[in-house]
Amino acid sequence: MADKKIYKLTVIDHSDEAIEELNKKVDQWLKAIGLDAASTTAEYIEKIHLVDTGNLKNSFSGKQASQVDKKNKVVYVGTAVKYAPYQEYGTSKGIKPKHFLKTGVELHKDEYISLLEDILKAD
C-alpha cells in the first residue's frame, strides 16, 4: 500500500490590500480628470468667446475648480461664479445656453477612459 502524503495548503487573503490599491488608483484618476476637465473648460470658454472680464474662465484654474469625493468615487467640476449657470444652461430672458462645462468635459471623455486604463495598468 502506498504511503499517504498529507499536504497542507494555506490560503492568504489579500483582497483588502487589492481593494485599497484599486481605490487609490481610482482616486488618482478622478483627481487627474477633475484637473483636466477644469482646464479644458477654461480653454473652451475662451474658444467660444465667452470671455468678458475673464472671471468665469479664471474660476476654472486651480484646485478649487474640481473636488474629488473619495467615498462616492465622484469628481465635481464647477465654479462659484454666480452667473455661470445662466451661461451654461441659458435663460428664458434670451441668454442662449453655451454648455461650456458639458462640452469641455465631453471633448475629452475618451482620453479620460484611456487615462483610467493606463493608471490601472501602472505598477
pLDDT category at 1 given cuts 50, 70, 90 is: low
Is pLDDT at 2 greater than 80 in this prediction? no
CB-based contact 106:84 (threshold 8 Å): no
CB-based contact 116:29 (threshold 8 Å): yes
What pLDDT is recorded for position 123? 73
pLDDT in tens, 92-108: 999 999 999 999 888 89
What pLDDT is recorded for position 112? 93
Surface-to-core class of residue 117, CB atoms within 10 Å of its CB (0-12 exposed, 13-18 middle, 19+ buried): exposed
Residue in 55, 31, 60, 66 with CA at minimum distance from that of residue 43: 60
Q: How many helices (H) and strands (E) does the chain have?
A: 5, 2
What pLDDT is recorded for position 62? 74
What pLDDT is recorded for position 90? 95
C-alpha cell of 68?
474629488
Surface-to-core class of residue 19, CB atoms within 10 Å of its CB (0-12 exposed, 13-18 middle, 19+ buried): exposed
The pLDDT mean for the chain works out to 91
What pLDDT is recorded for position 107? 86
What pLDDT is recorded for position 61? 85
pLDDT category at 3 given cuts 50, 70, 90 is: confident
The domain segmentation of the chain, as residue ranges, is 16-121
